[in-house]
Structure 1
């Protein structure tokens, strides 16, 4: 159908629309159309323009519309009238802030455009699970619920059960960090094994701060825990902080609080953090410095 189109009458106006009206760069548009050439088949007047107008009304600025288009080319192919419009209206009925709606559309456009019946079911399910519509986590939970099938949900509950979490504890963790049920079993197991067995963190502590499970074990958790093991072994800090206090702050904050502050006492501390030297190189037996 695309090959039969008249370039001057049908294709060029659509290309000009994306370049001038939406503000997509020529390089980005080339990539977008390569990935989704069907955009050029859609009616400009009956589909592309109405879709853009509605996205602009939700996202306000063209930059976010462009981000949405780049993130999911399907965002301009979806059924706006029958799905996205009522989906957004439903969120507003529940009192979801415009900032959270904008976040959902920009970061998870597929969720915002999903069939309305499925969206309604997910929204009500999330509300019944105790999520607050006024908080961003509400829309995060919606997109997770829409990705999950019952067998997958139950299998993740079993994984957490092996680490001592009851169903109620797992649900509490889910309310705090919905993505905890999207993590692979391998990722959950490796991170829990390190934090519980090697670092001595109580499983319940991790359930209270489940977002630590989504952090990179090699790039974030192990380097930070190695630094703290050195500081504990040398009695430079007291063992009175949670996993969240250690693992969630930005790298800048962590370096200032745990590395730069103590470099005069332990010159090798930055090398420990960067993985250039082992704990044994600074005379530390890791099993003696569990965070328990």
Structure 2
């Protein structure tokens, strides 16, 4: 017990990152851990009274802690969590998520990981995030070596955390046999670490899936006409991720029918904007109907498929109504190509097509803003 206290005190209390608010509960729990243990330790009551779990949570967690005969380890673990700045409520969440965390040795398992992760540049709040998100993975023996690999790959702990939040099992994946194999192959395909990070944030399973399946997805990308090393390769790989060839073929056929494209046109559209393969049929149908209303020819859309990426309510429809209003009232001095209008940033669009008409069309800005919210006015008002 003395050794336990010395370890926790030296590694947590003496740390500059340990908040002053954590000092009292840390010392209190350590003192309690050193006190004589009364017989008949009631785990469920301890989980409720000391750890802050609800009764149902405590009942469920207690089944995994039936061999716990004293509060010595739990007290030390709670002190450890307090030392990281984890609040009582968050500590309760950790215990509810992973009851076995309370049985972990602080001096031999938890504290050394803090030292190792600190050496990688992580702060106490960073480490607290890891504990809160994946307490079971945190107490595994190789978390430091995994972070040593992942941090350079993703560029920062912030980027890594984004992926971890989307896929909490990230730290349980086999790095050497699966993750590294997939990363090496993606690099061979011309993707840099930054591209791989962006790809995996949207499709985390790309790292953990069977390497043969990753190769099959790359082959699928090449099959739709996007070669390795091209500017659209990452977007195309993201678009086909975990979709079967049959499903992709069906989506391309739907695109042909919906937008009245030829085989060449649908292939060109997909090469230029692979993300169209992830659009729902309902979304595509909605856009096709709108572009028909605007008067855009199928070939025009196929050559400019980025039009399909923009929000109907937030960009396409409001801007079309503004241009239509300006033309109808003689306020547009020359013809404007629809694609060039949609591509403008919001700031530039407002400066070019809204602000100059404040006097002639005082309600234009208001009607445009209303339309951007999805509440399309019956007519834009001129007076």
Which bracket does the TM-score occupy, shorter chain normalised?
0.7 to 0.9
CA–CA distance in structure 2, aligned partners of residues 136 and 102 of structure 1: 16
CA–CA distance in structure 1, aligned partners of residues 299 and 354 of structure 2: 28
Cα offset for 1:203?
2.3
- Runs (5+) with no aligned partner, structure 2: 1-63, 65-97
Cα offset for 1:36?
4.4
Cα offset for 1:219?
2.3
Contact 1:104 1:112 in 2 (8 A): no
CA–CA distance in structure 1, aligned partners of residues 380 and 224 of structure 2: 49
Partner of 1:133: 228
Cα offset for 1:88?
1.9
What is the SS of the residue equivalent to 2:259? coil
1:40 to 135, 138, 156: 138
Greater Rg by CA? 2
Cα offset for 1:14?
4.7
2:266 to 170, 174, 187: 170
**Deviation by residue 1:79-111 (Cα, 9 ceiling, x = unmatched):** 222222122212222333343233223443322
CA–CA distance in structure 2, aligned partners of residues 65 and 82 of structure 1: 20
Query: TM-score, normalised on structure 2?
Result: 0.63
Query: What is the alpha-carbon root mean square deviation over aligned residues?
Result: 3.0
**Deviation by residue 1:237-288 (Cα, 9 ceiling, x = unmatched):** 3334133x2223321122122212333432222122112773635269xxxx
Partner of 1:287: none
Partner of 1:282: 381
Contact 2:258 2:288 in 1 (8 A): no
Cα offset for 1:13?
4.7
**Higher alpha-carbon deviation: 201-210 or 272-281:** 272-281
CA–CA distance in structure 2, aligned partners of residues 129 and 24 of structure 1: 45
- Runs (5+) with no aligned partner, structure 1: 285-292
Partner of 1:145: 240
1:61 to 150, 156, 161: 156
CA–CA distance in structure 1, aligned partners of residues 203 and 121 of structure 2: 19
Query: TM-score, normalised on structure 1?
Result: 0.80
**Count of aligned positions:** 278
What is the SS of the residue equivalent to 1:275? helix
**Higher alpha-carbon deviation: 10-19 or 251-260:** 10-19
Higher relative contact order (CA 8 A, sep 6+): 1
Cα offset for 1:112?
3.1
Partner of 2:76: none
